[in-house]
Amino acid sequence: MSFTATKFPPSPLPLTSRSNDKPLSFSFHHSKPNHSSSFLGSTRRLTPLATPHARRTPSPSPPSAVLLQQASNLLVTKEEGLELYEDMILGRFFEDKCAEMYYRGKMFGFVHLYNGQEAVSTGFIRLLKKEDSVVSTYRDHVHALSKGVPAREVMSELFGKATGCCRGQGGSMHMFSKEHNLLGGFAFIGEGIPVATGAAFTSKYRREVLNESDCDHVTLAFFGDGTCNNGQFFECLNMAALWKLPIVFVVENNLWAIGMSHLRATSDPQIWKKGPAFGMPGVHVDGMDVLKVREVAKEAIQRARRGEGPTLVECETYRFRGHSLADPDELRDPVEKEHYSGRDPITALKKYLFENSLANEQELKSIEKKIDEILEDAVEFADKSPLPHRSQLLENVFADPKGFGIGPDGRYRCEDPKFTEGTAHV
Amino acid sequence: MATLCQGLGVVIPLSSSNSSNFRLPSRRSISAWKDGIFVVRSDARVSQVLKTGGPNHELLIPNAVATKGGSSVASTSKPGHELLLFEALREGLEEEMERDPCVCVMGEDVGHYGGSYKVTKGLATKFGDLRVLDTPIAENSFTGMGIGAAMTGLRPVVEGMNMGFLLLAFNQISNNCGMLHYTSGGQFKIPIVIRGPGGVGRQLGAEHSQRLESYFQSIPGIQMVACSTPYNAKGLMKAAIRSENPVILFEHVLLYNLKERIPDEEYVLSLEEAEMVRPGEHVTILTYSRMRYHVMQAAKTLVNKGYDPEVIDIRSLKPFDLYTIGNSVKKTHRVLIVEECMRTGGIGASLTAAITENFHDYLDAPIVCLSSQDVPTPYAGTLEEWTVVQPAQIVTAVEQLCQ
């Protein structure tokens, strides 16, 4: 299937339904190596009345960030560019380190790596304030890192140590951080979307009922293409649009749900179209290009902050590794993989920074070195951290441990200091 | 005597102070009972309220007379005020919403409609549409939304229009409500209350007559309570809202119109304690929700036959109050569990296991557990009657147990 820009007429996004598109062809392999005409992202603004400006310029070389043709402003300043680069490198190196540790037997279970999708996480989350919330799926390591959870804590959580961000009780798929407002980490797909809707509801409630008029916290919900066929997705799109909740639904469409191609699972594969069906803008963006993602993210987040309601952003991206470290990844066509690895977001950003003289090789190398050190420290910290003690077993089952009830002796079970170790009688 | 009992309305010893003042009505008045439905006031006086036709069901019909306040009773001489169970729930909810602005309600038809059982009537006008939120019909998602709101600082009360609808929310209740405090390492608490009416009603059909307490009981991290009187309904509602844990409050469709006098002063009950309904010596009868009334009706028969049953309303379905239950077992040495759950894997099954584990030495006889039949509740009135435990069965069981 080819997502050519010709399918998206350059007009402001109407909130009403559109006439039928041409059915997309099912053969991915026909896409040509010249990608200047494809994946040019959204040519429409989020505010329907603004006129779109042409964003495309025929680029002579394979995909890279597109320069704006209007004012000579670049999309990012040097500091911002380096910050984005550092964040993406952190994500990429961390995930590679995870794979290394997994094969060394330091972590177990299901580990889902984010290689290739860093542009989405960095593009969106680096725009948030600390009070804004992020809800993710099982592919959440990099979302946690982008949101600000220290690499040490994430690594020790993966090792199952007591110093992990969830005390070792969550694991790879359940990263939480109250301090950084990372609301998880969910194993079942679609499960986090209602939670994100609830966090956005709290933000609106604070503003309107508790009269905290400066509360403009935004929630981002990340999920994949497979989730977009799930009932919770649609139910929450409805509720968020109905009550104009400050939430952005970010679809990381990496075209595959384990071994199920998006095209084989979805009647209308263009996910962004499902937004207008519920009364919110639906935007499609090239998720391999962090600057494009960032531009779209800025508008979507600002829209939510202003109280105008939710947005559905479909980021077309790709995961370079399998679904998880246990996935042999035999179904995906090597041609497809090669195509996308040629569009590595980190390479693309690097190219942009060089071409616009925002950074030189040395600065980027020093960033990479810094990240290497951070990760080494993280692994060492995780290695040295203690495993959880048995007394931790039942400690966090209840926020109020009176919930364990009254024992035969008349005292609350939690009054017994050893009860958290668990007994047969609990 | 048994035939007389069959035609009786519900008899409940209700007392606002949770004491055990159970007085049998005099013999003379029993004969008048054949015709009507009755309410026992908190001082254990019995009065006829409504004459009904129809099959001899033992409980109040949902549209019983709802006289609030002292219309027929001289209120100056008695403390407290009289109200129906759904009003008690509303009072508890309203008081908590006034006390804490973070308490909000979400559910289908809770706002403008006032709740399908009128528990939230008038609250939307008072507190606004955002605090009493009418949701679309998406149980899984709005329960999840309530969980997300709870994680970020609110204290939502999620209403399932019928408990059975919460089956659709099982994903969120099991995975998120119960687990997130744990998987986040204690970082996020989820002070949510999930409530709704369940149980076998009056010919409501199989899907509207479900008892979900058995399905939810294994979920770690949640507490479950069942209310049975206006007094404990209000107290448990308030306790559940104030609790930092996620609590599922089970109400019963047929109990919403029970009338009782409750205190004017504020009171909050304990979520983990059971209620001693009637102290006794011969046998411990453990029950909850609607079956409490069947048990009390059977208790009258039993007393007339010379037995002295001790009746405990366990109230807390998870965790069990093993102290109250244990003390009772140690006294009577015989246990009968009467519940409305299905036989297989119900609350009674868990309770039997818990008692056997903890108090085996004190038992003189095997624990008898009377539960509903393992059958989807049929529509036909007669069949429906036979799925649920009836007072006559309770009487027989006690007689057999005490041999």
3-state helix, strand, coil split of chain A in percent (to 5) is 40, 10, 50
Least confident of A229-238, B58-67, B256-265: B58-67
B183 contacts on A by Cβ (under 8 Å)? 166, 169-171, 174, 176, 184-185
For chain A, the domain total comes to 2
**How, if at all, do strands A282-286 and A311-316 pair?**
parallel
List the domain range (segments joined by +) for residue A416.
Answer: 390-426
**Per-residue pLDDT, A423:** 67
Looking at the structure, do residues A366 and A415 belong to the same domain, yes or no? no
Looking at the structure, do residues A288 and A314 belong to the same domain, yes or no? yes
B220 contacts on A by Cβ (under 8 Å)? 397
Nearest to B240 by CA among B266, B208, B268, B219: B268
**Per-residue pLDDT, B19:** 40
- The total number of residues written for chain B in this structure: 403
Residue B66 has pLDDT above 50, yes or no: no
Looking at the structure, do residues A403 and A314 belong to the same domain, yes or no? no
A33 or A370, greater pLDDT: A370
B147 contacts on A by Cβ (under 8 Å)? 194-195, 198
pLDDT band (50, 70, 90) for residue B381: very high
pLDDT band (50, 70, 90) for residue B52: very low
Cα-only R_g, chain A: 23
Phi–psi pair at A314, nearest 5 degrees: -100, 115
Over residues A36-65, mean pLDDT = 38
Over residues A105-114, mean pLDDT = 94
Report if residue A22 sits inside a domain: no
Report if residue A26 sits inside a domain: no
Q: Which residues pair with B275 in a beta bridge?
A: B313
**Cα angle for residues A301, A303, A309 (degrees, 5° grid):** 105
Q: Are B149 and B137 in contact (CB under 8 A)?
A: no
Looking at the structure, do residues A110 and A227 belong to the same domain, yes or no? yes
Mind giving me the DSSP string for A281-303?
-EEEEETT-HHHHHHHHHHHHHH
Continuous segment of H or E residues that includes residue B304 = helix B291-305
Burial class (CB within 10 angstroms; exposed 0-12, middle 13-18, buried 19+) of B348? buried
Residue A48 has pLDDT above 60, yes or no: no
Looking at the structure, do residues A377 and A396 belong to the same domain, yes or no? no
Look-up of token digits 């040490």: A152
pLDDT band (50, 70, 90) for residue B30: very low
Separation between Cα atoms, residue B127 and residue A73, nearest integer Å: 49
Looking at the structure, do residues A123 and A172 belong to the same domain, yes or no? yes
Which structure tokens are listed for B96?
A: 């908590």
Subunit contact B319:A235, Cβ cutoff 8 A: no
Look-up of token digits 């006439």: A19
ipTM of the complex: 0.83
- For chain A, percent of residues with pLDDT exceeding 90: 76
- For chain B, percent of residues with pLDDT exceeding 90: 80
Q: Are A261 and A255 in contact (CB under 8 A)?
A: yes
B244 contacts on A by Cβ (under 8 Å)? 398-400
Report if residue A7 sits inside a domain: no
Subunit contact A166:B185, Cβ cutoff 8 A: yes
Q: Which chain B residue has its CA at the smallest distance from A174's CA?
A: B183
Q: Are B40 and B75 in contact (CB under 8 A)?
A: no
Looking at the structure, do residues A86 and A214 belong to the same domain, yes or no? yes
Nearest to B46 by CA among B65, B32, B67: B32
Q: For the segment A59-76, what is each residue's pLDDT rounded down to a tens digit? A: 444 433 444 333 446 889
- Examine the fold and report which residue of A351, A368, A384 is the final residue of a domain before the chain moves on: A384
Look-up of token digits 């993989």: A337
Nearest to B316 by CA among B340, B341, B349, B288: B288
B59 or B353, greater pLDDT: B353
Give the count of Cβ contacts less than 8 A between chain A and B: 195
Q: Choose among A183, A205, A395: nearest Cβ to B104.
A: A205
Q: For the segment B166-195, what is each residue's pLDDT rounded down to a tens digit? A: 999 999 999 999 999 999 999 999 999 999
- Min Cα–Cα distance to chain A from B248, Å: 12
**A199: domain CATH number?**
3.40.50.970
Burial class (CB within 10 angstroms; exposed 0-12, middle 13-18, buried 19+) of A228? buried
Over residues B1-17, mean pLDDT = 39
* Chain B interface mutation, best of A110, A147, A396, highest count of B Cβ atoms under 10 Å: A396
Report if residue A336 sits inside a domain: yes
B326 contacts on A by Cβ (under 8 Å)? 408
Q: Choose among A195, A202, A398: nearest Cβ to B176.
A: A195
Residue B312 has pLDDT above 60, yes or no: yes
* Chain B interface mutation, best of A158, A178, A201, highest count of B Cβ atoms under 10 Å: A201
Looking at the structure, do residues A380 and A394 belong to the same domain, yes or no? no
Q: What rounded mean pLDDT belongs to chain B?
A: 85
Q: For the segment B195-234, what is each residue's pLDDT rounded down to a tens digit? A: 999 999 999 999 999 999 999 999 999 999 999 999 999 9
Subunit contact A231:B140, Cβ cutoff 8 A: yes
C-alpha neighbours within 13 Å on the C-beta side of residue A270: 23
DSSP state of B173: I
pLDDT band (50, 70, 90) for residue A238: very high
**Per-residue pLDDT, A74:** 80
Least confident of A10-24, B121-135, B326-340: A10-24
Subunit contact A404:B190, Cβ cutoff 8 A: no
Q: Which residues pair with A314 in a beta bridge?
A: A251, A284
Separation between Cα atoms, residue A167 and residue A175, nearest integer Å: 10
Residue A33 has pLDDT above 60, yes or no: no
- For chain B, percent of residues with pLDDT exceeding 70: 81
Phi–psi pair at A2, nearest 5 degrees: -120, 130
Nearest to B6 by CA among B401, B385, B402, B399: B385
By three-state DSSP, how is residue B51 classified? strand
B323 contacts on A by Cβ (under 8 Å)? 406-410
Subunit contact A403:B322, Cβ cutoff 8 A: no
Q: Which chain A residue has its CA at the smallest distance from B136's CA?
A: A239
Separation between Cα atoms, residue B310 and residue B347, nearest integer Å: 19
**Per-residue pLDDT, A172:** 95
| Residue A425 CB contacts under 8 Å (≥ 6 apart), including other chains | A407, B357, B358
Phi–psi pair at A168, nearest 5 degrees: 80, 0
Over residues B320-326, mean pLDDT = 95
pTM of the model: 0.82
Looking at the structure, do residues A136 and A214 belong to the same domain, yes or no? yes
**Per-residue pLDDT, B279:** 96
Report if residue A189 sits inside a domain: yes
Residue A351 has pLDDT above 90, yes or no: yes
Looking at the structure, do residues A310 and A403 belong to the same domain, yes or no? no
**How, if at all, do strands B283-287 and B335-342 pair?**
parallel
Least confident of A121-130, A215-224, A289-298, B34-43: B34-43
Residue A89 has pLDDT above 60, yes or no: yes
| Alpha carbon separation from B4 to A2, A311, B37, B303, B313 (Å, rounded) | 80, 67, 13, 14, 25
Query: Residue A12: is the preceding peptide bond cis (ω within 30°)?
Result: no
Which structure tokens are listed for B264?
A: 């004017």
- Min Cα–Cα distance to chain A from B205, Å: 27
**Per-residue pLDDT, A163:** 96
Region of A181 (left: φ > 0; alpha: ψ -120 to 50; beta: rest) is left
Residue B269 has pLDDT above 60, yes or no: yes
Q: Are A95 and A115 in contact (CB under 8 A)?
A: yes
Q: Which chain A residue has its CA at the smallest distance from B242's CA?
A: A400
Looking at the structure, do residues A399 and A366 belong to the same domain, yes or no? no
**Per-residue pLDDT, A416:** 87
Continuous segment of H or E residues that includes residue A341 = helix A334-341
B67 or A126, greater pLDDT: A126
Catalytic residue numbers of B, as ranges: 139, 208
**Per-residue pLDDT, B403:** 86
**Per-residue pLDDT, A184:** 85
Q: Choose among A188, A202, A404: nearest Cβ to B171.
A: A188
Looking at the structure, do residues A102 and A196 belong to the same domain, yes or no? yes
- Min Cα–Cα distance to chain B from A246, Å: 13
Subunit contact A402:B182, Cβ cutoff 8 A: no
N-terminal to C-terminal alpha carbon distance within chain A: 55
* Chain B interface mutation, best of A215, A218, A230, A406, highest count of B Cβ atoms under 10 Å: A406
Q: Choose among B128, B144, B185: nearest Cβ to A170.
A: B185
Separation between Cα atoms, residue A411 and residue B256, nearest integer Å: 33
